[in-house]
Structure 1
């Protein structure tokens, strides 16, 4: 509301100034130098005075207009310079915000990489723990007194060796020991059977309660051959 009133007041003042200036151009010579100018029956000398006064008023008006123009030009230049400085300040602030955004993005990338590495390590540990549990269960099956469980343990170790390359050598070594023990025990059982059949002294001291079979040896040899092919 105040802005509208101030604008209306400025326009009214400008209109009054223009009207006063026109009136001054019209009656100015008589107001400024009326003692030397006739009101009627003007002579050439009067015309010279009137022309001189009006020329002076026109020059003053042109000077005033030029001064107002210079004032507004200087004012606009200052406003433009101020806006330019504000633009520069905003640009500097935008650069700082962009740098901050870059640092935040880099930090987010580093954090994401750290989280991925952490998840990868946790997944690897969980997988290794699962492989260890499967390995222990399979080893226990090898010591079973049931042939189906022993054969199942052998093939379970084969499955673990296929899934985990780092455990392949260990499993091959375990199966080699199992194959050696089973072969020795099977030979021992055959020696006992031969002694009973021929009526000679029976060898004492069996290796354990489980009775090995040729199927155990065949299964262990099969897995060892497959793992040797992969190595």
Structure 2
């Protein structure tokens, strides 16, 4: 019988342990071998330190995550509180601004009634600033200034029986300027200047789209490059006005007086000029495409080669003395029911009309063959206070 080797304990050397000894086989009684397997080596110090370091790192991470969540929640709560405070501060600021605007508006309105012209002009400047600072107050300021112009412009009208025309006062002119620089695109209610006396007013480069000038006196106005699209000029007086480069597309100028006006380069696309008076004017570079000149007075008006007259309606128009010789794209049918004179009306080459037939045609259609009232007499009467 063979003797098994003695098993000895492990020595703590701090070094990597040797691999376990191989199994020892010893014969037993009856020559049957017995196999003995040695136990695995226990972990050494380095492995234990590594394990504890891993556990510590996990614990530290867990603690950091816990406190990180607490910090995040605290920051979120602080942010919510800050947002509430910011909203409250914004509301207070809005209320303060509204109160300030109300005070400024009240002071400006009061100053408009001051006897000093300088004070009134300063009030108009203040209202202009309010109009720009507060879109909410924009309509109120426009309405106030329009009322101011209507009310105070007529004070400049010549006394009854006199003919001395005077230009608008300085404060009225400034109010017009502010109205001409308003935000016209977003307006729902246009400025109402109907009946205003604005003879010789300076409207150059102003934006007066959709403004109501019904029966207003704008004679002799300086209005180059003014924007009057969709404006209401029905019955308005614009005789001798300088409208060079003005834009009056889709404007209602029915019954308007434009005698002796400067109209070079004016656009009147789809404008309503029914019963209007355009005597002694040159239509150089004027665009009349789609304009309605039914029963208009075009006496001694000159159409040039640059006048755009496509789709123009001239039924019942008075063309006595008019010069259409150079008018291009003029449909002869447009002249079928006009009033003219073989002696004074100059027609384009290739077009001839029997004016007696034309007058009869207009009468049969119930159209007058001349303006329904004396334009010049109406202007003189209006300006003389009659």
Q: TM-score, normalised by structure 1?
A: 0.51
Equivalent residue runs for 1:1-231 within 5 Å: 59=6, 63-65=8-10, 73=42, 87-184=57-154, 186=155, 194=160, 214-227=169-182, 229=184, 231=186
Does the CA contact (< 8 Å) of 1:161 and 1:171 recur in 2? yes
2:235 matched to which residue of 1? none
Cα RMSD after superposing both structures = 3.9
Q: TM-score, normalised by structure 2?
A: 0.33
Structure with higher helix content: 1
For the residue of structure 1 that corresponds to 2:9, the secondary structure is helix
Structure with the bigger RCO (C-alpha within 8 Å, sep 6+) is 1
> Distance between the aligned counterparts of 1:228 and 1:75, measured in 2?
87
Q: Which has the greater radius of gyration?
A: 1
For the residue of structure 1 that corresponds to 2:179, the secondary structure is helix
Does the CA contact (< 8 Å) of 1:138 and 1:157 recur in 2? yes
Q: Deviations over 1:75-102 (max 9, x none)?
A: 9688876665554443322221121122
Question: How big is the shift at 1:180?
Answer: 2.3
Q: Deviations over 1:179-222 (max 9, x none)?
A: 222235x16x85xx549x9xxxxxxxxxxxxxxx7333222222
> Distance between the aligned counterparts of 1:135 and 1:127, measured in 2?
12
> Distance between the aligned counterparts of 2:93 and 2:146, measured in 1?
31
Flag the 1:124–1:92 CA change in 2: closer, same or farther, 3 A: same
Flag the 1:90–1:181 CA change in 2: closer, same or farther, 3 A: same
For the residue of structure 2 that corresponds to 1:158, the secondary structure is helix
**Runs (5+) with no aligned partner, structure 1:** 1-51, 198-212
**Runs (5+) with no aligned partner, structure 2:** 18-38, 163-167, 187-386
Flag the 1:82–1:179 CA change in 2: closer, same or farther, 3 A: same
